[in-house]
Structure 1
Amino acid sequence: MPHLVILYTGQLDAEVNMTTLCRQMADAMLTVQDENGQPVFPTGGTRVLAYPAPHYAVADGGAAGLAAGVYAHNPHGGAGDYAFVYLNLRMGRGRSEAVQQGAGQTLIEVAKAFFAPTMAQRHIGITLQIDVGPEVFDAKHSNLHPLFQKA
């Protein structure tokens, strides 16, 4: 843990590089520090995964955009062509509310910057949500963490 899962409407695959977004998000997560200047997220435990939704319905299906005439000049526009991105960060308990808020601000700023060029061309809704345990069962098995432990 932490895991950031990104769910998005599949038409975005033709317009943005989601692998780049994943890397930017992971890199941003690794910059988040607690009140003592310590990293909040362990390098070996940081995961960002993105999944396109091939089937979706967003808002009114594009009617408002069509009525406003915004799709006439938009190469990606059309009825039902709104896009949506949902980012869900799941982290374990024990971090202060200030740290949680700081992590959220860091990640939403990365998302806003990443999608800014696309938002200039189309309508996108972006939601970032952070969920914190309690875990009912939390087992881990990994040989990644030793790679990042300092001797």
Structure 2
Amino acid sequence: MPHVVILYTGNLESCTDMSGLCRKLADTMQTVRAEDGSQVFPTGGTRVFAYPAPHYAVADGGAAGMAAGGDGNYGFIYLNLRMGRGRSDAVKKQAGDALLQCAKAHLQPVFDKHHLGLTVQVDEAPGQVYDGKHSTLHPLFAKH
């Protein structure tokens, strides 16, 4: 932890460099500082993952976008920063603002040509209290 998970409509694959966005967001996380000037997110624990949604529905399906002169092919990107507990509200806001600005800058060419929504959400992990697992894979390998 901390992790940024990006969920996005698959139509954005051809519009922007998602790996580049991941790198920029990870680098941005390293710039966030606590009130005492210390780095908020440990470099070794910073991770950014992006997952395209091949199936999605956004807003009205494109009618308003086409009426506005666009192609009606809406896009959406959701960024979720999950961090450990204990940071001040000011640091949480600073982190969210920094990620939002980074994503907006990276995605500006997409915003210029397409109808696109972007959301950044920051969550705190109160601590892992349960780690349940169930698998039918392990017995396959236990026989040998």
TM-score interval (norm. to shorter): 0.7 to 0.9
Cα RMSD (Å): 1.3
State the alpha-carbon separation in 2 of the partners of residues 13 and 65 from structure 1. 19
Are 2:65 and 1:65 aligned?
yes
Q: In structure 2, what is the equivalent of residue 142 of structure 1?
A: none
Q: Write the letter of the residue equivalent to 1:8.
A: Y
State the alpha-carbon separation in 2 of the partners of residues 100 and 138 from structure 1. 25
Q: In structure 2, what is the equivalent of residue 44 of structure 1?
A: 44
Which of 1 and 2 has greater Rg?
2
Alignment of 1:68-107 (within 5 A): 68=68, 70-71=69-70, 77-78=71-72, 81-107=73-99
Q: In structure 2, what is the equivalent of residue 122 of structure 1?
A: 114
Q: Aligned pair count?
A: 131
TM-score of the superposition, structure 2-length normalised? 0.88
Cα offsets for 1:55-85 (capped at 9, x unmatched): 00000000101122x12xxxxx24xx10000
Are 2:17 and 1:17 aligned?
yes
Structure 2 unaligned blocks of 5 or more: 132-144
State the alpha-carbon separation in 2 of the partners of residues 130 and 14 from structure 1. 27
Q: In structure 2, what is the equivalent of residue 7 of structure 1?
A: 7
> Identity of paired residues, percent?
59
